[in-house]
Structure 1
Amino acid sequence: MAAFGRKACQKFPSSMYIGSGEDFEIFCQPCDRDDIRLSAFCFCVDCEEHLCESCFNHHKRAKPSRHHTLLDKHNMPKSLQVSSQPDPHALPGGLTKPCSTHKKEMIKFYCHGHNALLCSVCVTLNHQSATCHVDYIPDISGNTVNSNEYSKIIIEIDTMTGIFKDTARNLKKMTEKSNASFKDVLAEIKKFRKEINQRLDAMEKEAENAAKSLKKDNDQRLKTAQATCDDVTKDLQESSDTIKQLNTSKEADKLFMELKNAEQLLKENERKISQLTTAGDVKEYHFELNLDISTLFENKKSLGTLTTKALKPQINVPAKLQSKQFSYQGKVNARTSQDEERCWITGMTLPTSDILVAADCKNESIKMININSYSIIDQLQLHTNPWNVTTVSKDKLAVTLPVSKEIQFVSFSSNRLKKTHTVKVEAECNGIYCYKEQLIMLFQSPAKLQITDLKGKVLKSITKNTNKEDIFSQPMHVTASSSSIYVSDNKKKAVIQLNWQGEVTGTHSVLGAPAGLAMLADGSFFLSDYHEDICKIQNISSDCTRGEVVLKDLKRPFAICWCEANKTLYISSFTENASVANFVQVYKMS
């Protein structure tokens, strides 16, 4: 390949034809823009440019251009091309949002690994690793309109909007109560002032000023919290309106991007909810008079003491239960030729919408099930009986091994399960659930709940309530949301709701034997009751105040697992009857 060296070069007309061998050579147009003259090696039909060998190799590797049509040296045009026609590969109409990092580029790709909207420059520079799964938005946005994701985001936006509106109303009531208490304090001060002589004028002034100073600080905190609620409500409403409009107009590309932006907005504002519970430590005023002054005020230097009591806004996610109808879809045979015992599926998890992983306690193994074909695609033998399994990340599971007092971590990829490492725990652990890289684990003796990091470091251990009473008796299964942790307790015949600080915030009593739990996107959860006289599945509200039976007359339902994407519920059974225990029942919600 001949190189003509670095020099300033003139701009050529739209077409310059090659002459004889002594005239000039077709050159690489991208390099020419950097004043480097290199011979052309091929021609890109999509870009309408001649490329040198180096640019050709980069063109084949880069995600945005790897599918472009390339012509070799023998078939490429024999003239320099400068396009004067409209680009036949122009971006679809929906891809018109500029990249926040590269202002001149349009967003047109999505990275599943980083959950990020990207332009072609972002892809080239930062998303070429093996962990990135980048797709062209028009290739994956076709089913976005009226999709499950659309419905989920709208529900979450409506729910969060309701939370902030309710919080704003609570803040207004707190302001009124705070102001009323302020007036009462001033009245008490003046009443007390009238009972003593004029020598207390200075002290009265000092007390009033102290109260007003507290109120000024109080009002500023309330104003800030109120402004936060108003701003978030406005942003959420605008996002909701935009999403609904794009869904109605079926602008899939824009809708896809707005849904992803809405996910980030929801995550950002979720943190603000917990921050509002402190609401700047809003105060209620009380005045405590100095009794000594009433008899001998000469020896005292103050009229009384101002005290405060924090008023915290009550922030509750609305408890909504919509009637849910299920239809039976069939059953999955969980027994394999390796099994020596009947199955007892004590725990299940869904690492993807296509894969169900079940812990088979009796056969000391976990099993990977393809839920589309209802077939077992892998089985991993363990050295002791597993109890429960939870998804830790997109390629990692955690399994409880009560007998050996361990958590077994398992990787899964290419439809294969593989043991990685174990973490020792202090007692026999059965129930487990992973939420945002924190493991919530249940222990039987003593009955308690622990929250640890993924290395087993204990972050919080919960056993007793504020009255020093045992919270748990026989905890079975656990699940969690951003605001609450839910534990099914067999002996207490109840589901116990706690906040992340370990305080009991609610309970839901049942008549039989509560076991499996499964969280829904609307904040409610399913509970299985395997008592032989009850055998049902309930849907319980997020505040544990209401429950609705959605499935009954089952065969001792034990572990349950919910697939939000497919609206499907998977149920195992606790029974000696092998013809039932060896199967996972499948129900779809309509």
Structure 2
Amino acid sequence: MAVQGKKATKQFSSSTTSMGSDEDLKVYCQPCDRDGPRLPAHGYCTNCSEHLCETCFTVHKRHTLSRHHTLQDKSSMPQTLSPVTPRQPDNFTKPCPKHNMEMIKFYCHDHEALLCSVCVTLDHTAASCKVNYIPDISDKVTDSKDYQDILKDINDMTERSSKTLQDIKKRNDESNKSLSNALTDIKKFRTKINQRLDELESIVKEAAQVIQKDNSKALMKVETVCGDVQISLKSSMDAVKHFNTSKQANDLFMELKQAKQMIKDYKQNVTLLSETEVKEYNFEPNEAISNLLDKEKSIGTLSSKTLQPDLKSRPKLHLLDKICIKTSRDTDHCCIRGMTLLTSDLLIVTDWFNNAIKMIDINRKSVLAQQSFASQPTDVTSVSQNEVAVTLPSNYTVQFINISQNNFRNKHTVKVDGKCSGIRCHKDKMVVSFLHPPKVQIHLINGTLLQTIQDEHIFKTPRYIATSDNFIYVSDTEMKTVTKLNWQCEVKGKYVCSGQPYGLATSEDGSLYFCNFDSNAIEELSEDFTEGEIVVKDIQKPQNVFWSAERCTLYVSSSSGNDTNEDNFIKMFRK
């Protein structure tokens, strides 16, 4: 019996019901059926596996999270309640770092970001991003390629961290050995003079101890950070394996994405650690001290220099994969003279023989777009995430190109005063090399000329450019040199190569890769330009290289002129 003044609560046990022996089975709206009132179904969502009334059907088409779902109208929808395919429960427990009260439930493919519902509503709407509800896409993550790749990256990063620590320890041992030699020299020299020099000797020792303290402090920092990196990576790998074994796809999916970001962050940190300075000692006795004891203030001078990493101890690069860049539009075999990364997944190349620029999807190993030029393009550089610049030597022109939705669109051009070759944009500046007349120029991005380096003693055929925050690197095929300039155009180093150097690529640890065209090899130069080491050999006439810090991958093109099997592929190498 109902209580007066209150409505009896409706009890619904199913979204289908028989209206009588002569009536057909009716299907009702499942969302409304949970809360009432019961309304007839007007359509069906195949993604949600639910029948919808007319109102829910309309809202479903408009809502951000369901607007891309596949809907069936009343005439084509199932006429009985379909059994819902079981999926993982939505027991999300990982809070959003931006919105602490919300749980992570979505994933944005465009930004590779884990999101909560607030993130989706504010920053990752369906109009701008491809967003999926994690349970809709996590069912295939167990034992997936992404899972295998993350495990491999964790192992690679752990190994790299260990090798970095070993290298710093080795250099620290060398430094301590040089300290021992320096102290011995001090003692030998000290025996030739009288007791009055005790005070001066202690000054030199204290200077040595300061440097030793700095070395020890640096080593301790590297040990601490590398230890933390290895612990964090092991913890992440254990979690990934656990979630994979227990088939907890939601947690596994999120852990994999977080591990990917962790690897990216640690990669930069470990790279910076590899540049840790370790100084050695060198004692230089004062020859005049015997006669000038009263005037001299020091027993000698203690100088130090930074010990460089041993290139020979670094792991060589091995062939990871290759990408065919020849298309049906090509009239000749390829000759890739310029390369740059627009994003970590998009490689942009210039094809000299086919007068073209091409966009390559690294993940799919396919050419996404191609645009032809009236003349042959040489080099290409990224200006931003949606813009590149190409040198057109015959036209004395740098062509700027916008890239949007896998299409090329010419923007403005910058006229230059010579036959341009190599090009690199760095921040707000553009560095261009010229074959005729031989010179290197620094411009603003808008084309304003800032400085010219034109000296036959420095350049005769400057072909390719590479840049870093502190330096500009130029390969000269006639002089067979790689020259290092600062941004004030002062020569800070010159390396004489065994063959013609072509394409250049800087890495995040300060070393430089270059193509040795005559030796069929890729060489790596140390930061101080004192030594080079072959890291890739037996590659036919390497033309250009580009280093991806994010993927730890070196991309190499060939220009043999007659070996189309080599020239039609971009090869990928990794340590």
Please indicate the TM-score interval, normalised by the length of the shorter structure. Answer: 0.5 to 0.7
| Alpha carbons 1:366, 1:380 under 8 Å: kept | yes
Q: In the alignment, is residue 421 of structure 1 matched against residue 416 of structure 2?
A: no
Counterparts in 2 of 1:17 and 1:243: CA distance versus 1, 3 Å: same
- Structure 2 residue 463 is matched with structure 1 residue 462: no
Shift in alpha-carbon separation, 1:168–1:260, aligned structure 2, 3 A: same
Q: Is the 8 A contact 1:170 1:313 kept in 2?
A: yes
Distance of 2:512 and 2:91 partners within structure 1: 41
Name which of structure 1's ranges 467-476 and 151-160 shifts more when overlaid on structure 2: 467-476
- Within a 5 Å distance, the mapping from 1:541-556 to structure 2 comes to 555=564
AA aligned to 1:198 is Q
Once residues 563 and 509 of structure 1 are traced to their aligned partners in structure 2, the CA distance between those partners, rounded to angstroms, is: 13
Q: Is the 8 A contact 1:518 1:562 kept in 2?
A: no
Find the residue that maps to 2:257 and give its secondary structure: helix
1:119 Cα deviation after fit: 0.7
Corresponding residue of 2:64: 63
Corresponding residue number in structure 1 for 2:553: 523
**Aligned residue among 209, 217, 221 for 1:220:** 217
Q: Are the structure 2 counterparts of residues 229 and 512 from structure 1 closer, same or farther at C-alpha, using a change threshold of 3 Å?
A: closer
- Residue type at the aligned position of 1:523: T
Aligned partner of 1:560 in structure 2 is 569
Partner of 1:283: 279
1:165 is displaced (CA, Å) by: 0.8
- Please say if 1:17 is aligned against 2:26: no
The percentage of aligned residue pairs carrying the same residue is: 37
CA deviation digits over 1:152-199, x for unaligned, max 9?
333333222222211212222333333333344444444444433333
* Residue matched to 1:96: 93
CA distance in 2, matches of 1:198, 1:414: 80
- CA drift of 1:140 comes to 3.0
1:126 maps to which of 123, 127, 138: 123
1:139 aligns with 2:130: no
Give the deviation of 1:120 after TM superposition. 0.7
Matching residue of 1:231: 228
Q: Give the superposed CA RMSD.
A: 5.4
Question: Which ranges in structure 2 are unaligned for 5 or more consecutive residues?
Answer: 10-28, 38-55, 71-84, 451-466, 476-481, 484-491
Query: Which TM-score applies when normalising by structure 1?
Result: 0.62
Write the deviation string for residues 7-59 of structure 1: whole angstroms up to 9, x where unpaired. xxxxxx9x96399xxxxxxxxxxxxxxxxxxxxxx996499599xxxx99999
Deviation of 1:445 (Å)? 4.8
Distance (Å, rounded) in 1 between the aligned partners of 2:370 and 2:30: 51
Count of residue pairs brought into register by the alignment: 478
The CA distance in 2 between the partners of 1:386 and 1:445, in whole Å, is 16
1:196-215 aligned within 5 A = 196-215=193-212
Equivalent position of 1:334 in the other structure: 329
Deviations 1:353-395 (A, max 9, x none): 9999886656755578999999999765544334566777775
**TM-score normalised over the length of structure 2:** 0.64
Q: CA distance change for structure 1 residues 411 and 307 in 2, over 3 Å: closer, same or farther?
A: closer
Matched, 1:311 2:341: no
Q: Distance in 1 between matches of 2:559 and 2:133?
A: 46
Query: How far, CA to CA, are the matches of 2:173 and 2:429 in structure 1?
Result: 40
1:176 paired with 2:173, answer: yes
Alpha-carbon displacement from aligned partner over 1:413-455 (angstroms, at most 9, x marks no partner): 5565432333455654556789999989776557899999976
**Greater mean alpha carbon deviation, residues 459-468 or residues 100-109:** 459-468
Shift of 1:227: 1.5
Distance change >3 Å, CA 304–CA 370, structure 1 → 2: closer
Distance 1:126 1:292 in 2: 73
SS in 2 for 1:403: helix
1:267 aligns with 2:264: yes
Q: Which residue is 1:402 aligned to?
A: 393
Cα 1:453/1:482, change in 2 over 3 Å? farther
Verify the 8 A CA contact 1:489 1:495 in the aligned structure 2.
yes
Task: State the alpha-carbon separation in 2 of the partners of residues 60 and 168 from structure 1.
Answer: 56
Residue type at the aligned position of 1:333: S
User: Does structure 2 retain, via aligned residues, the 8 Å contact 1:518–1:527?
Assistant: no
**Counterpart of 2:239?**
242
Residue 255 of structure 1: aligned partner:
252
Question: What is the CA–CA distance in structure 1 between the aligned matches of 2:320 and 2:367, rounded to whole Å?
Answer: 33
Alignment check: 8 A CA contact 1:167 1:313 kept: no
Instruction: Give me the whole-angstrom Cα distance separating, in 2, the residues matched to 1:98 and 1:408.
Output: 47
Q: Could you tell me which runs of 5 or more consecutive residues in structure 1 were left unpaired when the two chains were aligned.
A: 1-12, 20-41, 70-87, 336-341, 536-554, 565-590
Q: What do the CA deviations read for 1:209-250 (whole angstroms, capped 9, x no partner)?
A: 343333333322221222222222222232233334434444
- Bigger mean CA offset, 284-293 vs 100-109: 284-293
> Relative to structure 2, which stretch is displaced further, 366-375 or 409-418?
366-375
CA 1:366–1:193: 2 relative to 1, 3 Å: closer
Letter in 1 for 2:305: K
Shift of residue 506 of structure 1? Answer: 3.7
Q: Alpha carbons of 1:147 and 1:126: their partners in 2 closer, same or farther (altered >3 Å)?
A: same
- The residue type equivalent to 2:329 in the other structure is A
SS at match of 2:318: coil
Q: Is the 8 A contact 1:476 1:515 kept in 2?
A: yes
